[in-house]
Chains A and B, each alone.
Chain A
């Protein structure tokens, strides 16, 4: 580093434009309570600029004084007037964010990472397996496929939650149930009196339909879910090159520096969060 740069006070302003840690303000256009623990925000940059991203990419979302958290984009770039995130109340930052109302601001860095590999999905049957909050990042892809349906073949969605009250995007689900462009199969671990659908773990849904061996599969959900779903896919004979997993880690910086999201020598924020299974199945800390 031998750049001989003479520093002056005024240069500090120029530095702001190069500073990857400075977020942009986004206005909350709409906020909905989706479950008792999750809120669904529709956002737009305050300066009117568009969020350019791929389904599966993540944002660092912050509230000054509380901190920053990594969150997957929950809407499709094909719906370009705004972008969505869903925040689960977990810790200090998410609790503070979930107090906000429409008209208030969040602060955003991103998008970061590699999304769902659309070029490898186009022209093939698609299965999305989403567990719990795993429907948030995959909703971005689901909307994308529905908006550009002719680019893909058969489209199946498996969605599992602990109980019916945990279901996210109630309005979307009711649309999708009626939509002939998507085959939706739902299950809950534990039913209540309102539930008329399937009860049991998500892998039982494989019995309800025929998933062909040339299907491209996207899995997103709690860590425990991956192994069981992969086991079912192995039985069908789907190549690990055609299975894509969306991983959750503690992505503090999202720029491949801070170290928290590492799986062996991979940075989830840079190399993921979407990986092809064949790239990570051999990594012991991955799944």
Chain B
């Protein structure tokens, strides 16, 4: 890691210079929160954002992605990434991206993801404002963020510390008026990033191992899972807004000529009713998670238990998006985990 400093007065110029060369996807204001969008100019950038509606994974794992095009029996893939910068990503989202990188690479590498991911320069930024349901201070907080090419910390009104972690991060230096950072600036940035961890409005009071083992032991407590899911609309908003969710469905569409068309994958949600349904013919079907409680259990097990060993942390990074998105307000992992932990001691 090498650390640099860029003054506030030079910062917009830095962004605008990158924009001359390649797209920059970064947080901009969008009701009711913020959104990662392709910047038109540096003035739109809102590094003071608290949370974006959708997580930044969409920069290389879009909600809908054509994976092949066909025309009368001929077909071809569509992978054709462009170099781009994904900038202003908070630590919790960097951790989620790192998890998805692993999951899309293990066993079978899916280049429909990895090619776009590799073409992306990932630039993090410190959290200046905290979302109202965030709890990243107490989940996966001991897991270092990996995968960022550079990380910016706003030190004070004067400017940003810019830490570089890779060649891709290094390349960006050419676009801005950077100078070597002082030791005092590095220390200050560290303190800023440490202090903010204590300020989350929500908190989980258990260790990763305690949560994982108690939640797993609660697997067969059907009444508890049914209680947790009682008000669930099975809408899937908790999945759609989740930075660590990576499930998808695949469907074909014809073009109007009825000869050509495409095969598209799109984000899917395990909380929706038919996610695990198979048809067996003659109007018969089998839904392996027919009850809302079973689907809630699957979601929580996925986030808190099943992937821990593989990922070295929970598959939840504490962003709080699901809690905000849920109409019935039953999706918040903090409330769910606390309830499970309480129930285990009843």
- Which residues of chain B have C-beta atoms less than 8 A from A260's C-beta? 247, 249, 268, 275-276
- Which residues of chain A have C-beta atoms less than 8 A from B281's C-beta? 37, 88-90
Whether A67 lies near B250 (C-beta < 8 A) is yes
Q: How far is the CB of A218 from chain B (nearest CB, A)?
A: 20
**Contacts of A208-256 to chain B: CB distance below 8 A:** 222-223, 248-250, 252-253, 255-256
| Residue A262 CB within 8 A of the other chain | yes
Q: How many A-B residue pairs have CB under 8 A?
A: 161
- Which residues of chain A have C-beta atoms less than 8 A from B294's C-beta? 285
| Chain B 276-299 interface 0/1 with A at a Cβ cutoff of 8 Å (1 = within) | 111111100010110000100010
Q: How far is the CB of A89 from chain B (nearest CB, A)?
A: 7
Give Cα A265 to B117, complex, Å: 26
Contact among A11, A67, A259 for B252, CB-based, below 8 A = A67
| Residue B104 CB within 8 A of the other chain | yes
Stretch at the interface among A1-9, A141-149, A171-179: A1-9
- Which residues of chain B have C-beta atoms less than 8 A from A91's C-beta? 279
- Which residues of chain B have C-beta atoms less than 8 A from A285's C-beta? 288-289, 294
| Chain B 67-108 interface 0/1 with A at a Cβ cutoff of 8 Å (1 = within) | 110100101111111110000000000000000010110111
| Closest B residue by C-beta to A64 | B70
Whether B246 lies near A257 (C-beta < 8 A) is yes
Whether B306 lies near A9 (C-beta < 8 A) is no
- Which residues of chain A have C-beta atoms less than 8 A from B110's C-beta? 20-21, 255, 257
| Residue A19 CB within 8 A of the other chain | yes
Q: How far is the CB of A274 from chain B (nearest CB, A)?
A: 17
Whether B167 lies near A2 (C-beta < 8 A) is yes
Tell me the count of chain B residues lying within 8 A, CB to CB, of chain A. Answer: 68
Q: How far is the CB of B55 from chain A (nearest CB, A)?
A: 17
- Which residues of chain A have C-beta atoms less than 8 A from B68's C-beta? 19, 21-22
| Chain B 60-71 interface 0/1 with A at a Cβ cutoff of 8 Å (1 = within) | 000000011010
Give Cα A250 to B115, complex, Å: 27
| Closest A residue by C-beta to B76 | A16
Contact among A68, A258, A270 for B268, CB-based, below 8 A = A258
| Residue A47 CB within 8 A of the other chain | no
Whether B261 lies near A15 (C-beta < 8 A) is no
| Residue A206 CB within 8 A of the other chain | no
| Residue A99 CB within 8 A of the other chain | no
Give Cα A256 to B307, complex, Å: 13
Contact among A15, A261, A263, A284 for B79, CB-based, below 8 A = A15
Whether B80 lies near A20 (C-beta < 8 A) is no
**Contacts of B226-263 to chain A: CB distance below 8 A:** 246-254, 258, 261, 263
Whether B249 lies near A7 (C-beta < 8 A) is no
Whether A259 lies near B263 (C-beta < 8 A) is no
| Residue B119 CB within 8 A of the other chain | yes
| Residue A66 CB within 8 A of the other chain | yes
| Residue B114 CB within 8 A of the other chain | yes
Known: A5-B119, A7-B81. Contact between A21 and B298, CB under 8 A? no
| Residue A107 CB within 8 A of the other chain | yes
Q: How far is the CB of A11 from chain B (nearest CB, A)?
A: 8
**Contacts of A1-33 to chain B: CB distance below 8 A:** 1-7, 9, 11-12, 15-16, 18-23, 25
| Residue B270 CB within 8 A of the other chain | yes
Whether A270 lies near B107 (C-beta < 8 A) is yes
Give Cα A155 to B51, complex, Å: 63
| Closest B residue by C-beta to A70 | B278
Whether A257 lies near B279 (C-beta < 8 A) is no
| Residue A65 CB within 8 A of the other chain | yes
Give Cα A91 to B252, complex, Å: 14
- Which residues of chain B have C-beta atoms less than 8 A from A18's C-beta? 109, 111
Q: How far is the CB of A195 from chain B (nearest CB, A)?
A: 20
- Which residues of chain B have C-beta atoms less than 8 A from A256's C-beta? 106-108
**Contacts of B162-177 to chain A: CB distance below 8 A:** 165-168
- Which residues of chain A have C-beta atoms less than 8 A from B165's C-beta? 2
Whether A249 lies near B101 (C-beta < 8 A) is no
Whether B248 lies near A66 (C-beta < 8 A) is no
Contact among B70, B77, B80, B83 for A9, CB-based, below 8 A = B80
**Contacts of B299-346 to chain A: CB distance below 8 A:** 301, 305-307
- Which residues of chain B have C-beta atoms less than 8 A from A253's C-beta? 248, 250
| Residue B23 CB within 8 A of the other chain | no
Give Cα A223 to B281, complex, Å: 14
Known: A21-B112, A25-B73, A255-B108. Contact between A4 and B168, CB under 8 A? yes
| Residue B158 CB within 8 A of the other chain | no
- Which residues of chain B have C-beta atoms less than 8 A from A119's C-beta? none
- Which residues of chain A have C-beta atoms less than 8 A from B206's C-beta? none
Whether A64 lies near B251 (C-beta < 8 A) is no
- Which residues of chain B have C-beta atoms less than 8 A from A222's C-beta? 280
| Chain B 152-192 interface 0/1 with A at a Cβ cutoff of 8 Å (1 = within) | 00000000000001111000000000000000000000000
Q: How far is the CB of A119 from chain B (nearest CB, A)?
A: 22
Give Cα A101 to B275, complex, Å: 32
Give Cα A22 to B73, complex, Å: 13
- Which residues of chain A have C-beta atoms less than 8 A from B306's C-beta? 264-265
Q: Which 8 A-B pairs have the closest CB atoms?
A: A259-B247, A265-B306, A15-B79, A64-B70, A255-B108, A2-B166, A12-B80, A19-B77
13 inter-chain pairs at a CB distance below 8 angstroms, sorted by A residue, are: A1-B118, A19-B111, A21-B250, A62-B263, A65-B261, A68-B263, A250-B277, A256-B106, A256-B107, A257-B108, A260-B249, A261-B276, A270-B107
Please list the residues of chain A having a beta carbon within 8 angstroms of any beta carbon in chain B: 1-7, 9, 11-12, 15-16, 18-23, 25, 37, 62, 64-68, 88-91, 105, 107, 222-223, 248-250, 252-253, 255-265, 270, 284-285
Please list the residues of chain B having a beta carbon within 8 angstroms of any beta carbon in chain A: 67-68, 70, 73, 75-83, 101, 103-104, 106-112, 114-115, 117-119, 147, 149, 165-168, 219-220, 246-254, 258, 261, 263, 265, 268, 270, 275-282, 286, 288-289, 294, 298, 301, 305-307
